Chains A and B, each alone.
Chain A
Amino acid sequence: MKYAKVYFDDVKVGDELPPVVKGPIQQIQLTRYAGASGDFNPIHQDDEFAKAAGMGGVFAHGMLSMGFVGQALTDWAGPAAVRKFGVRFAAIVRLKDVVTCRGRVLGKSSKDDVNLVDVEVWAENQRGEKVVTGRATVALPTRD
């Protein structure tokens, strides 16, 4: 079940999030993401511009990959569970790349009736190279 509810009680350190696989990345998705996000940097749209900028051609918005990783988090923890989510953009995602988003539970803590789970997250391309690395904290419900 895709949106099965995850309870704090059942989460263990080392648990892995169900992976989310995106792509192959197409130009149309970058154009659509530009419109949706408001990031119209031509480096993601115009191959000549991107080559002239020394980038070897267009590449995906880092924020699109962060959005993919965000989906891995919310598919697992719920759409409003994310309290903190930070990433570093480690490598560029090119057209035709397939991006797989993963995560692993690092720790659990409870404070003032809020139950938090720290997760290591990352996205890798089809060659297994990490394109995004980061961490997130999600709040989960308890069974009682």
Chain B
Amino acid sequence: MPTQINKGVIGKESPPFVLTVERGRIKEFARAIGDANPAYLDDRVGQASEWGDIIAPPTFLTTFRDGADSATFLKDLGTDISRVLHGEQEFEVFRPIRPGETFTCRSRVVDVYEKTGRSGPMAFVKRETVVTDATNEIVANIRHITVVRL
């Protein structure tokens, strides 16, 4: 019996999520990828740069997640973590991310649609997160497609 996906989540917004970027987290993220760029890892290089500090690699925005919310989200969808795959990801970036900055993330479900692929029926869940800084300027848009194996 295939999983029934709950399309009622379309348009649903998650509560705004506030986070402060930690210096060590940027460095550990770069190291986990194996990216030794001194712009991410070396404080002195960062201070001497046009940004005045180290910056985060482009895909660091993936850490802008609310762990508690994602479990709730899967439950609302009618699935669980063993059924989901990452389908697509897009970042639109307006400026670099530096340590110590506080951001607000607002996520909403843009669409849910079903398709049958080579490996059977699947649902695609499209979400978008808008990231704003302390002055309410948009710093990034994050688009994410989760694939649920039904």
A-B contact pairs, 11 of them (CB 8 A): A37-B29, A38-B67, A64-B33, A66-B89, A71-B34, A73-B58, A74-B57, A83-B92, A86-B88, A86-B91, A89-B86
* Distance (whole angstroms) from the CB of B32 to the closest CB of chain A: 4
Partner of B58, one of A40, A54, A64, A82: A82
Partner of B31, one of A36, A70, A87: A36
Contact A22-B90, Cβ < 8 Å, known A37-B63, A49-B82, A79-B40: no
Residue of A nearest to B40 (CB): A79
Contacts of B83 in A (CB 8 A): 53
Q: Which residues of B are at the interface with A, using a C-beta cutoff of 8 A? A: 25, 28-29, 31-35, 37, 39-40, 51, 55, 57-59, 62-63, 65, 67, 81-96, 143, 149
Q: Is the CB of B90 within 8 A of A87?
A: yes
Q: Which of A64-91 contact B (CB under 8 A)?
A: 64, 66-68, 70-71, 73-75, 79-80, 82-89
Q: Is the CB of B34 within 8 A of A38?
A: no
Name 14 extra pairs, CB < 8 A, besides A53-B83, A71-B33, A89-B85: A22-B34, A32-B32, A36-B31, A37-B29, A39-B65, A41-B81, A61-B86, A74-B57, A80-B39, A80-B95, A84-B90, A85-B90, A85-B93, A87-B88
Q: Is the CB of A86 within 8 A of B143?
A: yes
Q: Which residues of A are at the interface with B, using a C-beta cutoff of 8 A? A: 3, 22, 29, 32-33, 35-43, 49, 52-54, 61-64, 66-68, 70-71, 73-75, 79-80, 82-89
